[in-house]
Amino acid sequence: MDALIELQSEFWKAAGETLYMVSITLLVGGAAGLLMGLVLYATRAGSLLPNRAIFVTLNVVINFFRPIPFIIFIAAVQPLSRLIIGTGIGINAVIFALSLAASFAIARIVEQNLVTVAPGVIEAARSMGAGPYRILGTIVIPEALGPLILGYTFIFVAIVDMSAVAGLIGGGGLGYFAQLYGYRQFEPVVTWAAVLLIVVFVQIAQFVGNRLARLALRR
């Protein structure tokens, strides 16, 4: 307990780093994943804008990158990170890798939720003269909003987990704090303090996500 008290400033700094990494990743990766998911849905056979070449290419890319374990993925994208943001280490490099990894997972979640929208609703909009982009924006996304919110909540939890893994290679945040000051210094109280705060973050996110999803489903 004394060690944790002495490390208070580092503890809360690490908590802030985790929230920073997760929030930026969810913003950037969430937007990219939503775009890819919409393209997958719209270009699949029988959908609003069928295009086999685009669908197959994007589908293969997502299927290739999505199964890669994050600890391997973060090392593999270091050269690309150095090329684009100028560094392969540190919090910004971790955010770059997190955003890429999250975008592929989110794309699949978005696609899977959009395909559950009843075809009859889409056909009714088509019969009234609505174009594909209008149907996507005013019919498909609103109809799938509740499940999409739950999907993004799931991804938030996954990003928190991945940010902790990034701590193993000096990426900052609570994972790095727990490993550096807890595991390496044989201070289980420090380790568990980081674990419990991560659990608090996840519980709050899950509560908010569930609440927003219920509100969307009741609209």
Task: Report the first-to-last Cα separation within the chain, whole angstroms.
Answer: 48
pLDDT recorded at residue 219 = 58
3-state helix, strand, coil in the chain (%, to 5): 85, 0, 15
pLDDT of 43 strictly over 90: yes
pLDDT of 19 strictly over 80: yes
How far apart are the C-alpha atoms of 189 and 200, rounded to whole Å? 16
What tokens were used for 160? 């928190």
Task: Read off the pLDDT of residues 59-99 as tens digits, 9 standing for 90 and up.
Answer: 999 999 988 888 888 888 888 888 888 877 778 888 999 99
| Residue, of 87 and 18, whose pLDDT is higher | 18
Query: Nearest 5°: phi and psi at 77?
Result: -90, 5
How far apart are the C-alpha atoms of 137 and 30, rounded to whole Å? 17
Angle at 159 between CA 156 and CA 164, to 5 degrees: 135
What SS3 state is found at 66? Answer: coil
pLDDT of 54 strictly over 70: yes
pTM of the full structure = 0.89
What tokens were used for 88? 């392969």
Neighbour-count burial for 46-67, b at 16+ CB within 10 Å, e otherwise: ebbbeeeeebeebbeebeebee
Average pLDDT on 159-185 reads: 80
Least confidently predicted of 10-14, 32-36, 106-110, 126-130: 126-130
How far apart are the C-alpha atoms of 102 and 152, rounded to whole Å? 10
